[in-house]
Chain A
């Protein structure tokens, strides 16, 4: 979308896209032509919703043309006028003076011409003409009433403000007083004390079903209380955004400029620097006769064991210390114990190193490959010990976490209160290899100690009902 279009039309699509005012689904252009053979090529056309069957016929809108839907809709919205060609002040407006116009006196002012859009446009043109009349040399003002910072003359003016030299005709000393709008053509609308009576009567007679919801009203340019007045809305445009670090302004994310592209020029994501955490139940071996852990219903009041795996994305060995509150916060105090809170994770290996090295041995120790082997047979009979790592691979380490869930009292529990989430404090310490990072000024000391600590939350599952767990 060109910037100029967005400036004049707002951040909405100005092509043929419209959303349903009732349900927000996109509207399709369909033909009303009675002959099905001709429907592909000839109208009349309407915009209709494939989701809720609403169509512009409910507003009495039909279109002769399949193209330029946006302009056609804008025209209808502005009472037959295209958006920018507003009626010039009429003779009536001049002769009528400050007398408030009423329906009987102004038969040519259609209901649609009296829209807030029209009022705003006349308001704007009135005040910008007032501004330019009182201060004709102001180059900052564009004819449309906006500010124009990009023209060289306005730049010169801004500079003159700072250098103190007078600029142009500005210093004539004459400044005429600005007046307020005084009649209809200038955008003045006198509030009629009885204007809401009609709406109140309608609310009484038509009831809830004909009243627009808050969401439906919010989607409109000008909120209307009634479903019958809702208009199709062009969808909002999407933007691409760069993001900077809020501490040091370093660019973290920068999408590619091209409109079609979904790639990034810069994308620094935390997961490239901190360990990936995964969490899964350590199923009890069949010999213990304990039921397997169901993450949708974790049994309360008895210990369940889970495997917490941290996978290291860095190319250095990392020392990790984990901490968790003894009791998880929230209304129910679930007891959480990390059996081995201090451990090391091996370094990540470059994909090139991996490819050039002994591929076979690397592959067999890959994250999922190994854990599956252990899953199939190794689990039976093994007991988790405090202070000992459960499993370790090239760049990952698994420790056991024991959780004793509190019983959830069913009658007073709110939505999602049975969700078990464990806050974990992760502190990592490693010696970064400066040589690999390309900083060779530190010749004497090749390694630099680094430290990082943060809180994170591990989502586990839901705590089961007490009764259900005891019967199974």
Chain B
């Protein structure tokens, strides 16, 4: 079960037009490049580095990426977060970086719907699917791809570039597949991997 947040005063969260509940104590950088699909929960001390983008248009201060080559498309958004996704206290979301022709290049980071990210996680994945549960203190390494319906155990370190197949349970350092989620994964509200509407409702109200 995702931990129930303690009831908090209404003013602790900013609710956006699309129903996202963003803690006033969260640190969001480059907000114009962060896309929240709606009804996401962002807890205090969460840090989202929307400012780490592939190519900075004529802004020498923000990035060292080589902007002239034009081999990859320019991404308007660097971080995408799906509906009813919950980012636990103190988690860090950084778009993954890689070396490309001797320069650091950032790729977009995408997180799906009904994703639970536990407390103090570090996420540098290329993408995380829907109905994914990431346990407390887990690290999802650069360019990792986590498919739909995956459970990442507490404290796991998903190594750089790992692709986690749908329905897996991964754990350990480095993480490896240690099992499969149950057949009912994602079907039930309030359970790991399940619908997160109630969790969203219970935050900040």
A194 to chain B, nearest CB (A): 38
Which of B18-26, B30-38, B161-169 lies at the interface with chain A?
B161-169
B159 touches A51 (CB 8 A): yes
Please encode chain B, from 164 to 198, with 1 for each CB lying within 8 Å of some chain A CB and 0 for all others: 01111000001010000011100110100000001
**Distance in angstroms between the alpha carbons of A146 and B184 in the assembled complex:** 39
Please encode chain A, from 44 to 68, with 1 for each CB lying within 8 Å of some chain B CB and 0 for all others: 0000011110000000000000000
Which of B9-17, B52-60, B141-149 lies at the interface with chain A?
B141-149
A276 touches B183 (CB 8 A): no
Interface: A88 (CB within 8 A)? no
Chain A residues numbered 265-286 whose CB sits less than 8 Å from any CB in chain B: 267, 269-271, 276, 278
B102 to chain A, nearest CB (A): 4
A37 touches B161 (CB 8 A): no
**Distance in angstroms between the alpha carbons of A267 and B149 in the assembled complex:** 15
A39 touches B101 (CB 8 A): yes
Which of B1, B7, B188 interacts with A271 by CB under 8 Å? Answer: B188
Which of B7, B149, B162, B167 interacts with A26 by CB under 8 Å? Answer: B162
Please encode chain A, from 236 to 255, with 1 for each CB lying within 8 Å of some chain B CB and 0 for all others: 00100001000000001100
Interface: B202 (CB within 8 A)? yes
**Distance in angstroms between the alpha carbons of A372 and B166 in the assembled complex:** 35
Which of chain B's residues have a CB closer than 8 A to the CB of A49? 159
Please encode chain B, from 47 to 75, with 1 for each CB lying within 8 Å of some chain A CB and 0 for all others: 00000000000000000000000000000
B188 touches A26 (CB 8 A): no
Which of chain B's residues have a CB closer than 8 A to the CB of A50? 141-142, 159-161
Q: Given the known inter-chain contacts A24-B174, A262-B149, please indicate yes or no for A37 contacting B102, CB distance below 8 A.
A: yes
B166 touches A262 (CB 8 A): yes
B32 to chain A, nearest CB (A): 30
B169 to chain A, nearest CB (A): 12
Question: Interface range on chain A: under 10, 10 to 19, 20 to 34, or 35 or more?
Answer: 20 to 34
A-B contact count (CB 8 A): 69
Which of B160, B168, B182, B190 interacts with A28 by CB under 8 Å? Answer: B160
Which of chain B's residues have a CB closer than 8 A to the CB of A469? none
**Distance in angstroms between the alpha carbons of A51 and B161 in the assembled complex:** 10
B139 to chain A, nearest CB (A): 11
Chain B residues numbered 127-146 whose CB sits less than 8 Å from any CB in chain A: 141-142
Which of chain B's residues have a CB closer than 8 A to the CB of A24? 174, 176
A424 to chain B, nearest CB (A): 17
Which of chain A's residues have a CB closer than 8 A to the CB of B148? 262
B183 touches A51 (CB 8 A): no
Which of chain A's residues have a CB closer than 8 A to the CB of B198? 367-368
Which of chain B's residues have a CB closer than 8 A to the CB of A177? none
**Distance in angstroms between the alpha carbons of A273 and B167 in the assembled complex:** 23
The residue of chain B having its C-beta at the shortest distance from the C-beta of A240 within the complex is B167
Most central of B99, B159, B184, B201 by chain A CB within 10 Å? B159
The residue of chain A having its C-beta at the shortest distance from the C-beta of B201 within the complex is A368
B187 touches A269 (CB 8 A): yes
B127 to chain A, nearest CB (A): 14
A36 touches B102 (CB 8 A): yes
Q: A26-B162, A267-B187, A271-B188 are in contact. List 11 more A-B contacts (CB 8 A).
A: A26-B159, A36-B102, A37-B101, A37-B102, A50-B161, A262-B148, A262-B149, A269-B184, A269-B187, A367-B198, A368-B202
15 examples of A-B residue contacts, CB within 8 angstroms: A26-B162, A40-B100, A49-B159, A51-B159, A51-B174, A253-B183, A267-B183, A267-B184, A269-B182, A269-B183, A269-B184, A269-B187, A271-B184, A368-B201, A368-B202
- List residues of chain A with CB under 8 Å of any chain B CB: 23-26, 28, 36-37, 39-40, 49-52, 238, 243, 252-253, 262, 264, 267, 269-271, 276, 278, 367-368, 372, 376
- List residues of chain B with CB under 8 Å of any chain A CB: 1, 7, 99-102, 141-142, 147-149, 157, 159-163, 165-168, 174, 176, 182-184, 187-188, 190, 198, 201-202
